[in-house]
């Protein structure tokens, strides 16, 4: 047993030296967990920011001016006054995301209690901004109307108080930053292990391993622990330095529990990388095969959209994928501060899937080595 562990350890050290000698892969790892996390988190925002808005003010009253002045930065750009005949052309050209049309005699009708109608035209090309922006505009209008005409405000039957937990300011950066790290763990785990095996085949070093007293399981384990170690360390550093320090996103839970779960996750995704590599004849083919698999895993993992939004049959199909389980427990730990008692079911599922993937990859790897002989 100690001899086996020693061989696995030394083969893993060889993997680390091979990775160190590959500057392109080293740059990819550093870029993925630093610049990519920061730029995507700060650039791809789901909330409304600097949205272009136009006002068709056919009333020209104090109340309509008040509504126009309430569209403030950083949510909206300074509103632009346009005519009613310019609306279609302006929206077709993409000049404005929101166009608020205020009818004639709006203030007069509001004071008289005749409940005038406002029209809000929205460019829903960007659906997230359109949906959130509509809520923003509606809230602004209701607040300004209640302030300007307190005697005309309609009392609601209930007083609804909204309290947002885990992200009180509803900042998309808090969600995007952590999910970007999680997605990068999946992507690089597959790429590193698969590329390492393809590289050995292309350089002819796999034949050297075949003449040594080493089993296929030991070769696989060495690649799993070496490449998995690099990914886990890079992910933790990214969470601490980039996410928590640079982006000021709080990490609520235990990093050690996250590391434990990430190590379990490595057995499945690195095994998947080896499995893809065994059916690939070159690095280019490996990239073409792994790309749609990784895109599907990330999009259907729950890191982009909630799992409940997917069709029921697809939710059941994704049970065999390790990505949804890892995303679910990572969100529970890093966002909500969950302990092991709250995520043990996901950990158990991740362990079972990891063993299944590892055994499947090992069977295929043995066949590939037998063919190489």
User: For every residue of 175-194, which 3-state class applies, written as one string?
Assistant: HHHHHHHHHHHHHHHHHHHH
Residues 185, 206, single domain; the answer is yes
Residues 123, 211, single domain; the answer is no
Residues 26, 127, single domain; the answer is no
Q: Distance between CA atoms of 230 and 189, rounded to whole angstroms? A: 9
Which pair of structure tokens corresponds to residue 142? 């209701």
126: CATH: 3.40.1710.10
Collect contacts of 86-93 with beta carbons under 8 A, ≥24 apart.
87/54, 87/56, 87/121, 90/54, 91/121, 91/123
Residues 176, 241, single domain; the answer is yes
C-alpha pair distances (Å), 296 with each of 304, 324, 331: 11, 11, 19
Q: Distance between CA atoms of 128 and 131, rounded to whole angstroms? A: 5
Residues 337, 193, single domain; the answer is yes
Cα 145 off chain centre by: 38
Residues 209, 257, single domain; the answer is yes
Cβ–Cβ < 8 Å for 177, 204 = no
In this predicted structure, what is the pLDDT of residue 181?
94
Residues 248, 327, single domain; the answer is yes
In this predicted structure, what is the pLDDT of residue 153?
54
Q: Are strands 98-102 and 119-122 parallel, antiparallel or unpaired?
A: antiparallel
Q: Distance between CA atoms of 42 and 174, rounded to whole angstroms? A: 10
Under-70 pLDDT residues of the chain: 126, 151-163, 207, 209-210, 371-373
Which of 152, 179, 211 is where one domain is finished? 152
Global pTM value: 0.81
Q: Distance between CA atoms of 44 and 145, rounded to whole angstroms? A: 33
Per-residue pLDDT of 300-316, as tens digits, reads 888 877 788 788 898 88
Residues 223, 321, single domain; the answer is yes
CA dihedral sign of residues 282, 285, 291, 296: negative
Cβ neighbours around 143 below 10 Å, total: 11
Domain limits at 239? 2-44+171-372
Which of 152, 187, 211 is where one domain is finished? 152
Which of 152, 182, 216 is where one domain is finished? 152
Residues 289, 270, single domain; the answer is yes
DSSP-assigned letters across all residues of 317-331 = HGGG-HHHHHHHHHH
């Amino acid at each position: 047993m100690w001899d086996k562990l020693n061989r696995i350890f030394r083969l893993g050290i060889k993997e680390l030296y091979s990775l160190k000698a590959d500057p392109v892969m080293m740059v990819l790892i550093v870029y993925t967990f630093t610049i990519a996390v920061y730029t995507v988190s700060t650039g791809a925002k789901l909330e409304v920011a600097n949205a272009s808005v136009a006002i068709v003010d056919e009333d020209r009253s104090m109340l309509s001016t008040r509504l126009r002045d309430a569209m403030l930065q950083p949510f909206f750009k300074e509103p632009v006054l346009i005519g009613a005949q310019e609306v279609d052309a302006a929206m077709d050209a993409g000049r404005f995301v929101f166009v608020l049309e205020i009818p004639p005699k709006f203030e007069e009708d509001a004071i008289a209690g005749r409940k005038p109608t406002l029209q809000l035209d929205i460019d829903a090309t960007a659906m997230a901004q359109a949906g959130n922006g509509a809520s923003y505009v509606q809230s602004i209008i209701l607040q300004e109307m209640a302030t300007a005409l307190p005697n005309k405000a309609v009392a609601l039957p209930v007083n609804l108080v909204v309290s947002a937990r885990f992200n009180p300011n509803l900042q998309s950066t808090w969600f995007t930053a952590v999910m970007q790290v999680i997605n990068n763990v999946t992507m690089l785990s597959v790429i590193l292990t698969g590329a390492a095996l393809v590289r050995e085949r292309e350089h002819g070093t796999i034949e050297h391993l075949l003449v040594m007293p080493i089993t296929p399981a030991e070769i696989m384990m060495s690649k799993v622990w070496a490449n998995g170690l690099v990914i886990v360390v890079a992910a933790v550093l990214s969470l601490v330095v980039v996410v928590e320090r640079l982006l000021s996103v709080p990490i609520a839970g235990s990093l050690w529990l996250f590391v434990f779960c990430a190590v379990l996750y490595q057995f499945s995704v690195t095994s998947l990388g080896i499995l893809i590599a065994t059916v690939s004849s070159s690095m280019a083919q490996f990239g073409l095969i792994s790309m749609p698999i990784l895109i599907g895993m990330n999009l259907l993992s729950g890191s982009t959209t909630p799992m409940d939004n997917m069709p029921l049959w697809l939710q059941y199909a994704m049970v065999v994928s390790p990505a949804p389980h890892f995303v679910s427990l990572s969100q529970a730990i890093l966002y909500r501060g969950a302990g092991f008692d709250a995520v043990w079911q996901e950990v158990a599922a991740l362990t079972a899937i990891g063993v299944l993937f590892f055994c499947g990859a090992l069977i295929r790897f043995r066949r590939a080595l037998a063919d190489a002989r």
